[in-house]
């Protein structure tokens, strides 16, 4: 195990450029303020066309994590934070290097991650490209806080894998609720529960939809903030050991919902996700 991990570290270190001596936080960043009318306006448009992801990102702008700058400052001011920033300048580089990840032992988070991403046709860079379609030029800041923001984006699919919540309609709402407890943007909470309401409207079986979402929210609160953990180290560990370290237990109500749906002749993955994922 240690030999594999050492080989993995060497490969990734060679692929990553040395960490940039970035400014801590550049001036001009927007103040994190709530704009409830804007959020409601875009949500009404999203309800009309649930595939229109262009309406999701303004909701996150309108209902941000107001304490995100303080959280980023606290982490980046710590020795641990700077050590992780130096060893993991780009999670996209690490996560999309499946050849190196596959050299780790089977059963590690790295292998499960590769299996999931390849099966779903996803990539870490793909999420970057999707979000960049909606990012304005004035929202780019080449500083350490932006590095922290990118980690919030790049850990999304890891959350799916670690929590056991799939990419079905209910699974996406549960990940939003879990993420709210990790990164408390009101948009995560609002979209998670609004999405759950839409799932319930189409539910003919009577599954525990809101209990599933609430349970996910509680699980997110019990888990250390993933963006502030050494992802490279976690990737080299057996996935069950990672879950144990992060206090993540199987999602009882979500699994119950899937069992009930299938018993009723409903495929949970045939239900269209009412609100698309966003980081």
Is the pLDDT assigned to residue 19 strictly greater than 70?
no
**Do 167 and 207 form a contact (C-beta atoms < 8 A)?**
no
- Give the pair of three-digit tokens for residue 249: 């237990």
| Whole-prediction pTM | 0.87
Between 43-47, 87-91, 138-142, 177-181, the lowest mean confidence (pLDDT) is in 138-142
Is the pLDDT assigned to residue 124 strictly greater than 50?
yes
The CA-based dihedral angle spanning residues 194, 113, 149, 7, taken in that order and rounded to the nearest 10 degrees: 170
Q: Where are the beta strands (DSSP E) in 105-209?
A: none
The structure tokens 């580089």 sit at 93
**40: phi then psi, degrees, rounded to nearest 5:** -65, -40
CA–CA dist 113, 98 (Å, integer):
9
Q: Tokens for 167? A: 């990419």
**Residues sharing a CB contact under 8 Å with residue 61, sequence separation 6 or more, in sequence order:** 35, 38
CA gap 232, 266 in Å, rounded: 38
* Distance (Å) of CA 13 to CA 88, 205, 252, 261: 9, 51, 39, 46
**Percent of the chain beyond pLDDT 70?**
89
Q: Is the dihedral angle over the CA atoms 263, 266, 269, 271 positive or is it negative?
A: negative
* pLDDT at residue 206, rounded to an integer: 92
pLDDT, greater one: 185 or 135: 185
User: Confidence class of residue 273 from pLDDT cuts 50, 70 and 90?
Assistant: very low
Q: Which two tokens stand for residue 212?
A: 């599933």
């Amino acid at each position: 195990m240690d030999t594999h991990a050492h080989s993995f570290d060497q490969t990734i270190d060679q692929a990553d450029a040395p960490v940039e001596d970035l400014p801590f936080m550049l001036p001009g960043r927007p103040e994190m303020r709530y704009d409830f009318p804007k959020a409601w306006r875009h949500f009404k448009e999203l309800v009309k066309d649930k595939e229109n992801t262009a309406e999701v990102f303004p909701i996150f702008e309108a209902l941000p994590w107001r304490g995100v700058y303080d959280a980023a400052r606290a982490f980046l001011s710590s020795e641990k934070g700077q050590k992780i920033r130096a060893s993991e300048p780009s999670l996209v580089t690490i996560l999309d290097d499946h050849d190196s990840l596959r050299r780790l032992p089977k059963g590690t988070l790295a292998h499960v991650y590769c299996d999931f991403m390849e099966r779903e046709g996803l990539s870490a860079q793909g999420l970057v490209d999707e979000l960049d379609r909606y990012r304005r030029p004035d929202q780019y800041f080449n500083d350490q806080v932006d590095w922290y923001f990118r980690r919030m984006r790049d850990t999304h699919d890891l959350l799916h894998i670690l929590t056991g919540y799939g990419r079905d309609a209910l699974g996406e709402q549960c990940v939003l609720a879990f993420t709210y407890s990790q990164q408390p943007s009101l948009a995560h909470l609002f979209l998670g529960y609004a999405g759950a309401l839409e799932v319930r409207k189409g539910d003919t079986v009577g599954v525990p939809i809101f209990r599933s979402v609430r349970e996910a929210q509680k699980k997110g609160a019990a888990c250390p903030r993933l963006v502030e953990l050494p992802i490279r180290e976690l990737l080299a560990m057996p996935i069950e050991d990672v879950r144990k370290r992060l206090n993540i237990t199987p999602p009882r109500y979500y699994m119950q919902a899937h069992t009930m749906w299938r018993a009723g002749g409903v495929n949970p993955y045939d239900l269209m996700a009412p609100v698309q994922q966003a980081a």
